[in-house]
Amino acid sequence: MPSNASDEPILPRLPEALVENIEAGQDSELKAALLENVALREQIANQTHLLQLMTHQFATPLTSLSGSLVMLEEAALSAEQSKEFLEFVHQDVSRLRELLQDIQSLQNLETGKLETQPQPFCIASLVEEVMQGFAIHMPVYEFEPAIPYVNGDRWQTAQVLVNLISNAIKYSPDGNPIEIGAARVPPDWIEVWVRDYGLGIPEADQPHVFERFYRVKHRDRQHIHGTGLGLSLCKHLIENQGGMLDFESKHGEGSRFFFRLPVWDEVVCDT
Ligand code: ADP
């Protein structure tokens, strides 16, 4: 079982002698069939790898769930202890639900079921709308005045903001404030950022955080739960709209995630 998403899928190989024979021969149809076969093998290896990762992700909450159920069934627990185990059951069920929802969204995106519906909208209003769901934290807004509308899918952008803001809060255990802003980047982009002063991302993990199921395994976040799918979903959602998503981060100091969407010049935000 791979320990993390960075482990490469293992590709089953054709026997060397067979490949050499086909390559040496003149039969172009056979060569085309060979190439097709290699592509299919690659696809199967990737799917198998994904399944292994998924199995691994489901196993942890399921093991903990059955442990809590055994305790609830068999042990003579006080009312308070039963309540505590029931709370664990609820947490595990919601982790499983979250995992399923993320897998489903990713699947919808990858199979083209989730259509992008671009329309001009004001990013500052969308951020404020999304922030209403995060009442506890006081964000700092840094919107450029009279910022032009972006041309994108409002719902998909909202999903990305929810994910990035949730991460900024989740990985800032000291409760440091987060900053959210937007500015025009020449020639034709609006950049939107979510900055936090939390845990940051270790350098060795940085190239992998957009991979499906990848989670940083540092001890500073071992009690923070997640599916490892959020950032990979965000990347798909932004690229689906013709934009780009990236980040800068320093372990122990914080992170700045930012995405760019095309500008729609005719209207400016009234902020
Ligand atoms: P999840 O949060 O469910 O693990 P994500 O795909 O959202 O999955 O993030 C992948 C990893 O990147 C996380 O495990 C986390 O360690 C790291 N990460 C993401 N956002 C931040 C952030 N704002 N600050 C620090 N680490 C982050």
In eight-state DSSP terms, residue 14 is P
Instruction: Report the nearest atom of ligand 1 relative to the CA of 198.
Output: 24
Q: Which of 102-116, 172-186, 192-206 has the highest mean pLDDT?
A: 192-206
Residue 38 has pLDDT above 90, yes or no: no
Say yes or no: CB of residue 213 within 6 Å of ligand 1.
Answer: no
Q: For the chain, which domains are there?
A: 16-110 (1.10.287), 119-268 (3.30.565.10)
Nearest C-alpha neighbor of 116 from the set 238, 32, 25:
238
Instruction: Report the nearest atom of ligand 1 relative to the CA of 229.
Output: 6
Whether the CB-CB separation of 267 and 120 falls below 8 Å is answered with yes
Per-residue model confidence (pLDDT) at position 7: 52
Phi, psi of 240 (to 5 degrees): -55, -30
Say yes or no: CB of residue 168 within 6 Å of ligand 1.
Answer: yes
Say yes or no: CB of residue 199 within 6 Å of ligand 1.
Answer: yes
Per-residue model confidence (pLDDT) at position 2: 38
Per-residue model confidence (pLDDT) at position 5: 44
Q: Which residue among 99, 213, 215, 246 has the greatest number of ligand 1 atoms within 8 angstroms of its CB, and so is best to mutate?
A: 215
Confidence bin at 3 (pLDDT 50/70/90): very low
Gap from CA of 188 to ligand 1 centroid (Å): 29
Confidence bin at 60 (pLDDT 50/70/90): confident
Say yes or no: CB of residue 171 within 6 Å of ligand 1.
Answer: yes
Gap from CA of 215 to ligand 1 centroid (Å): 7
Confidence bin at 31 (pLDDT 50/70/90): confident
- pLDDT tens digits, residue range 88-144? 999 899 889 988 888 888 888 878 778 888 999 999 999 989 988 886 667 888 999
Q: What is the DSSP string of 29-71?
A: HHHHHHHHHHHHHHHHHHHHHHHHHHHHHHHHHHHHHHHHHHH
Asked which of 58-62, 242-246, 248-252 is least confident by mean pLDDT, the reply is 58-62
Q: Which residue among 60, 95, 100, 167 has the greatest number of ligand 1 atoms within 8 angstroms of its CB, and so is best to mutate?
A: 167
Residues 71-88 have a mean pLDDT of 87
Residues 35-52 have a mean pLDDT of 81
Residues 69-94 have a mean pLDDT of 88
- Hey, how many other C-beta atoms are within 10 angstroms of the C-beta on 100? 12
Residues 215-230 have a mean pLDDT of 93
Say yes or no: CB of residue 200 within 6 Å of ligand 1.
Answer: yes
Nearest C-alpha neighbor of 194 from the set 162, 238, 226:
162
Closest residue to atom 16 of ligand 1, CA basis? 216
